[in-house]
């Protein structure tokens, strides 16, 4: 079995969508939800969906040692970031080369980087009068939103769109594509 850990800091609608998508899959399972926020709604969702979850403090994510021990103990093969707002420590990056992916709610390299998350991204898209925006699924490296791009999908930004309208379109693209792309990546990989 390929074991995924989903890292999330917030609501976790993408986490829920990923869990449901892989439910019953014979080769891939979401084994854990990991959060750096004790009261993140994603932990409620995990509970409802019967997926084990664990909290690590922001301090644990500074050096990554405890998190790394946990990932090794649980034999996690692949990490999916879904609204996870901390940087991944370098020891975890080293142990999971090309095995950590993130989704960003814009067409990177536009509107990425530190502090660019959630509605801030969509507001920047509107402020810049962009005619289109979308999603980027990419590998994770030591810099925010700079790892190799795996997949992008676009949607139109209408003149009448506000932040909520853009967020809704982008979220829909996330739900439509993130689980499928993660599945495609994992189906082309070999784990021992
Ligand atoms: C998503 O928009 C994703 O692109 C970004 O964080 C957001 C998480 O939303 N990385 P949710 O917690 O999955 O609802």
pTM of the model: 0.96
Asked whether residue 7 carries a pLDDT value surpassing 90, the answer given is yes
The reply to whether ligand 1 has any atom less than 6 angstroms from the CB of 134 is no
191 pLDDT band, cuts 50/70/90, is low
* Rounded Cα–Cα distance for residues 127 and 87 (Å): 27
Helices (H), 6-157: 13-22, 41-48, 60-63, 65-73, 90-95, 119-127
Question: What's the confidence (pLDDT) of residue 144?
Answer: 83
Best residue among 105, 150, 179 to mutate for probing ligand 1, ranked by most atoms within 8 Å of CB: 105
91-131 pLDDT tens trace: 999 999 899 999 999 999 999 998 899 999 999 999 999 99
């Amino acid at each position: 079995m390929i074991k995924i850990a989903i890292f999330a800091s917030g609501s976790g609608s993408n986490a829920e969508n990923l869990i449901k998508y892989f439910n019953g899959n014979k080769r891939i399972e979401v084994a854990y939800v990991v959060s750096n926020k004790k009261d993140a709604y994603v932990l409620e969702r995990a509970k409802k969906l019967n997926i084990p979850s664990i909290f690590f403090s922001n301090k644990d994510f500074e050096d990554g040692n405890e998190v790394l021990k946990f990932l090794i103990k649980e034999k996690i093969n692949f990490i999916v970031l879904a609204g996870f707002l901390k940087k991944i420590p370098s020891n975890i990056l080293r142990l999971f080369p090309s095995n950590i992916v993130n989704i960003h709610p814009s067409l990177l390299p536009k509107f990425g980087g530190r502090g660019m998350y959630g509605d801030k991204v969509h507001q920047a898209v509107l402020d810049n009068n962009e005619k289109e925006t979308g999603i980027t699924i990419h590998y994770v490296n030591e810099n925010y939103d700079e790892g190799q791009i795996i997949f992008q999908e676009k949607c139109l930004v209408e003149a009448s769109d506000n932040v909520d309208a853009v967020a809704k379109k982008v979220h829909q693209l996330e739900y439509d594509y993130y689980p499928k792309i993660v599945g495609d990546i994992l189906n082309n990989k070999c784990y021992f």
